[in-house]
Amino acid sequence: MHKTIREAVDLASRLRKKLTGPLDRDVAIAPSFTALYAVAEALKGSEIQLCAQNLHENIRGEGAYTGEVSAPMLVDAGCEYVIVGHSERRTLFGEKDEVINKKLRTALKFGLRPILCIGETLDEREEGRTSAVIERQIKEGLNSFTVDDIRNIIVAYEPVWAIGTGKTATPEQAGEVHAFIRQVMGKNHGQDISSNLTIIYGGSVNPDNISALMAQRDINGTLVGGASLDVESFIRVVRS
């Protein structure tokens, strides 16, 4: 919940100027709902893509859900991606795996590429339940999805215990969980899905730790939080 429309457009415009020419990586930014259309206009003709932070799960794409935002609205605003199951949605707003499963299904139906966020809390990590939590979130989040569905989903591992707690996940810890995610995906959905799945890391990503994170074999990219609010900081992450 950062940036007014004017501030978001300014950030997007400065990013566009800095990231010129063909990009050898995918870059997307996720402004607040109110700024989506204006930012889409500012990004027209660039290779930077637009992502929404959330969506409502109703599969019809409309209805009596005052205050919610539907998948067709996001597509109409110019979005290509949507974040689903972010740790703050899970912990602050009580979103359960069943709802997240519905949101993923709705996003795919309307042509959005969802970024499924999974991760354990500090208590779960200290109790040794990381693997169990991750496996449950994957299994229930992707319940009844076809292989073709899963090909269009990105998984983001964001350890809740490393966000705002003063604790930091080491690149090795992040890498271990990414490898476990790939293992679970292989067991549940086949080796082809496991090998080709895009898994990104989110958890206090910044210019100082990006190189070490990206050196991990199973980390394919990052979901950047606070560091994305500053153009120079975000550019350094993108270019690493």
User: Which residues are catalytically annotated?
Assistant: 86, 158
Q: Give the span between the Cα atoms of 19 and 13, in whole angstroms.
A: 10
What contacts 24+ positions apart, CB below 8 Å, involve 209-216? 209/168, 209/171, 210/236, 210/237, 210/240, 211/240, 212/171, 213/171, 213/174, 214/240, 215/171, 216/171, 216/172, 216/174, 216/175, 216/178
Q: Give the span between the Cα atoms of 195 and 177, in whole angstroms.
A: 15
Q: Give the span between the Cα atoms of 104 and 140, in whole angstroms.
A: 11
Q: Give the span between the Cα atoms of 171 and 189, in whole angstroms.
A: 26
Question: Under a CB-based contact definition with an 8 Å cutoff, are residues 88 and 63 in contact?
Answer: no
Q: Give the span between the Cα atoms of 13 and 31, in whole angstroms.
A: 13
